[in-house]
């Protein structure tokens, strides 16, 4: 076991620490050591500053160990010596301080030293572990130092380092606490490594660990993240069965999970049963109510959201900035900007200061309504109140100006943002590149891309995707493929949005054979989605190749999961174009049988084409059939075609 492997090192270390007390003929080093300890106890920092000009790492180790029962003084001495020009603490000194800090539960200081060892001094996590073990004293230090090392690794993003530490401790016989496992599992979820999370969790359970409330919370979070709400509920029942009392965090995640899948009423039931299920140990807090308010706002049920707020206040929980931010966004999203501003006023009256999230929401929806002046005034108010804009603020401003046709102003604003070094990511660049392509300013888009490299900004997948889509829409498929190759070279992983852009570009360039080959490749890699199929289907139809289009459509129907309303609309439209009106109507009926309700595009396509080529009675019959089956007619089509036909029929009946 690791304890035995390093016991000899510890005894040597201990002898080295205690030897200073046993001298009979004191040397100069002994005298210096004694003087340092005396002045450190008396906190004579100026004198200590002079005395430690030529201190050695061995002397530092001895002083730290001497003051193991006074960790604050030990840390102050450690920091004082560390500031000396040209002096570098040894790994051993750092590890002693880490043990001392952990022993008195001063984890933040321990984490600072740990992260400095890995990030600044370049030690690997396993080397740091070696140092911690070598300086480990069972009677004076805690195994929690090893937990702290795992935490430090996860905080700096060293996933493999954290896992290597856990595995090394396991192999060498040290007990890895459940806290270390939980910390690593939480790190994996934060990095969206859900698949690995389940593998590590299974491994942990196989070692015989008993889950605690934090482990269960992680399971609930992972399942809710995967939209497996009912499996998450089963974890809650397992907790109750195993005698683990759920905390408010568990309930809040479940309430939020229920809201995200549209089961908001179930979330409300959970809130009402929270006390009973937890043995009256847990009651709803502001996060609980905020989850419900957010859920109702997303569904457009604003009246109920306000009722939840009233209930929240009634039980003595004060709404916070997040509560109001949710309501403001909810009302804005549902076209009630005046009410949103009223909530903003109420928020201020309660003594709460709107943050960047609140301003971002209002500015975004003002831009969506085309109120550029109102959005600008609000941004000015934000600056006047010294609320710092964030990356989202600049993105919203840039996109809002572009959407309203102020591309030149958006570029000037972007230039100002860059000059002030306010942007560190590719967000605003991506928006501008997209709108430059839309305005056929290819040169400007490429210049903007070049400026990213000049300023040290790394293009992300969205940047590459925007460039590829822009080139494809301009008919430059070869340039798009070259950009794709460049993206792969810098190890950026493509996604379905990019592949679909290339398929669409190939179809529009009449390169249907290449498009088919790409779709086949994606299909073999199990990477297809309905958009890919629909794009290729539309390509066949647009080129007049109805046989291949219908073959692909039949294949899609057999597979089932790739057919949607867009699929049917593409085929119905092209059947009508080729004069196959009866087949188009039959396909619409098959669509309804499959459980897909035709939309206004289906309605307009069929009614317009049949009105031009069939009798009045057939048009009215088609209209009636579709409406009776839940189709909402397009008002313009109805008023211009169906309405006059119905009115004409009524006049004939009267005559």
The verdict on residue 217 lying in a domain is yes
Burial 637-646 (b: 16+ CB within 10 A, else e): bbeebbeebb
Query: How open is the CA angle 50-52-55, to the nearest 5 degrees?
Result: 150
Report the number of distinct structural domains present in the chain: 2
Domain harbouring 258, CATH code: 1.25.40.10
Q: What is the DSSP string of 416-459?
A: HHHHTT---SSHHHHHHHHHHHHTT-HHHHHHHHHHHHHTTPPP
Report the 10 Å Cβ neighbour count for 143. Answer: 16
**Alpha-carbon span 608 to 584, nearest angstrom:** 13
Query: What is residue 141's predicted lDDT score, i.e. its pLDDT?
Result: 66
122: phi > 0 → left, psi -120 to 50 → alpha, else beta; which? left
The verdict on residue 223 lying in a domain is yes
**Alpha-carbon span 360 to 343, nearest angstrom:** 15
**Alpha-carbon span 200 to 184, nearest angstrom:** 9
**Alpha-carbon span 184 to 190, nearest angstrom:** 10
The verdict on residue 516 lying in a domain is no
Q: What is the DSSP string of 302-359?
A: HHHHHHHHHHHHHTTPPP-HHHHHHHHHHHHHTT-HHHHHHHHHHHHHTTPPP-HHHH
**Alpha-carbon span 189 to 408, nearest angstrom:** 42
The number of CA neighbours under 13 Å toward the Cβ of 459 is 30
The verdict on residue 458 lying in a domain is no
The verdict on residue 594 lying in a domain is yes
Q: What is the DSSP string of 545-577?
A: -HHHHHHHHHHHHHH-TT--HHHHHHHHHHHHH
Q: What pLDDT, in 10s, does the model give residues 105-118?
A: 999 999 999 999 99
Report helix, strand and coil shares of the chain as percent, to nearest 5. 75, 0, 25
Query: What is residue 623's predicted lDDT score, i.e. its pLDDT?
Result: 86
Straight-line distance from the first to the last Cα atom of the chain, in angstroms, rounded to the nearest whole number? 105
3-state secondary structure of 642: helix
Among 318, 337, 365, residue at a domain's last position: 318
User: Is residue 9 packed enough to be buried (19+ CB in 10 Å), middle (13-18) or exposed (0-12)?
Assistant: middle
The verdict on residue 130 lying in a domain is no
The verdict on residue 479 lying in a domain is no
- Contact in structure between 396 and 358 (CB atoms under 8 Å): no
Among 268, 284, 318, residue at a domain's last position: 318
- Contact in structure between 167 and 155 (CB atoms under 8 Å): no
3-state secondary structure of 83: coil
> Which parts of the chain sit beneath pLDDT 50?
1-23, 650-655
Instruction: Give the CA distances from residue 647 to residues 307, 514, 561, 632, in Å, rounded to whole numbers and listed in that order.
Output: 47, 51, 42, 20
> Cα 129 to the chain's mean position, in Å?
32
Residue ranges making up the domain that contains 591: 564-643
The verdict on residue 307 lying in a domain is yes
Query: What is residue 138's predicted lDDT score, i.e. its pLDDT?
Result: 56
Backbone Cα Rg of the chain: 34
Using the Cα atoms of residue 115, residue 120, residue 126 and residue 132 in order, give the sign of their dihedral: negative
Among 318, 341, 375, residue at a domain's last position: 318
């Amino acid at each position: 076991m690791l304890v035995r492997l390093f016991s000899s090192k510890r005894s040597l270390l201990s002898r080295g620490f205690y030897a200073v007390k046993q001298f009979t003929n004191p040397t100069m080093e002994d005298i210096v050591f004694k003087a340092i300890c005396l002045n450190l106890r008396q906190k004579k920092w100026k004198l200590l500053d002079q005395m430690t000009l030529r201190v050695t790492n061995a002397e530092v180790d001895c002083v730290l160990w001497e003051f193991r029962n006074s960790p604050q003084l030990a840390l102050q001495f450690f920091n004082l010596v560390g500031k000396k020009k040209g002096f570098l603490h040894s790994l051993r000194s750092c590890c002693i301080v880490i043990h001392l800090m952990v022993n008195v539960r001063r984890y933040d200081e321990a984490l600072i030293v740990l992260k400095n060892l890995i990030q600044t001094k370049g030690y690997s996590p396993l080397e740091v572990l070696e140092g911690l073990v070598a300086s480990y004293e069972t009677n004076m230090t805690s195994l929690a130092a090893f937990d702290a090392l795992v935490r430090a690794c996860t905080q700096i993003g060293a996933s493999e380092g954290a896992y290597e530490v856990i595995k090394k401790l396991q192999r060498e016989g040290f007990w890895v606490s459940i806290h270390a496992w939980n910390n690593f599992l939480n790190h994996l979820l934060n990095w969206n490594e859900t698949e690995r999370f389940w593998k590590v969790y299974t491994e942990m359970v196989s070692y015989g660990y008993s889950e605690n409330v934090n482990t269960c919370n992680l399971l609930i979070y992972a399942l809710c993240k995967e939209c497996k709400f009912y499996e998450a509920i089963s974890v809650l029942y397992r907790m109750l069965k195993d005698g683990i009392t759920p905390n408010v965090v568990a309930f809040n995640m479940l309430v939020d999970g229920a809201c995200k899948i549209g089961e908001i009423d179930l979330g409300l039931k959970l809130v009402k049963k929270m006390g009973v299920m937890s043995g009256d140990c847990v009651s709803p807090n502001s996060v609980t109510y905020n989850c419900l308010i957010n859920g109702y706002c997303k569904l457009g049920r604003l009246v109920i959201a306000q009722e939840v707020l009233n209930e929240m206040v009634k039980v003595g929980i004060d709404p916070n900035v997040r509560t109001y931010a949710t309501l403001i966004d909810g009302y804005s999203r549902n076209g009630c900007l005046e009410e949103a501003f009223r909530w903003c006023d109420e928020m201020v009256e309660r003594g709460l200061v709107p943050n960047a999230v609140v301003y971002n929401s209002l500015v975004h929806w003002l831009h969506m309504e085309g109120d550029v002046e109102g959005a600008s005034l609000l941004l000015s108010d934000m600056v006047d109140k010294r609320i710092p804009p964030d990356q989202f603020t600049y993105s919203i401003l840039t996109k809002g100006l572009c959407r309203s046709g102020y591309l030149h102003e958006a570029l000037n604003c972007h230039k100002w943002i860059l000059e002030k070094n306010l942007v560190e990511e590719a967000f605003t660049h991506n928006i501008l590149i997209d709108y430059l392509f839309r305005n056929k300013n290819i040169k400007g888009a490429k210049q903007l891309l070049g400026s990213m490299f000049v300023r040290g900004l790394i293009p992300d997948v969205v940047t590459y995707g925007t460039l590829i889509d822009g080139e494809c829409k301009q008919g430059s498929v070869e340039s798009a493929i070259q950009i794709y190759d460049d993206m792969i070279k810098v190890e950026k992983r493509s996604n379905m949005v990019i592949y679909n852009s290339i398929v669409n570009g190939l179809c529009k360039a009449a390169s249907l054979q290449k498009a088919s080959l790409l779709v086949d490749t994606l299909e073999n890699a199990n990477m297809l989605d309905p958009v890919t199929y629909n794009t290729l289907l539309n390509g066949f139809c647009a080129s007049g190749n109805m046989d291949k289009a219908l073959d692909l459509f039949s294949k899609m129907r057999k597979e089932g999961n790739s057919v949607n309303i867009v699929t049917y609309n593409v085929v119905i439209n092209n059947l009508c174009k080729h004069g196959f009106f009866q087949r188009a109507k039959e396909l619409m009926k098959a669509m309804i049988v499959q459980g897909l309700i035709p939309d206004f595009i289906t309605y307009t396509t069929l009614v317009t084409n049949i009105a031009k080529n069939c009798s009045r009675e057939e048009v009215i019959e088609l209209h009636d059939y579709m409406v009776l089956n839940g189709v909402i007619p397009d008002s313009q089509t109805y008023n211009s075609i169906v309405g006059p036909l119905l009115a004409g029929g009524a006049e004939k009946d009267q005559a």
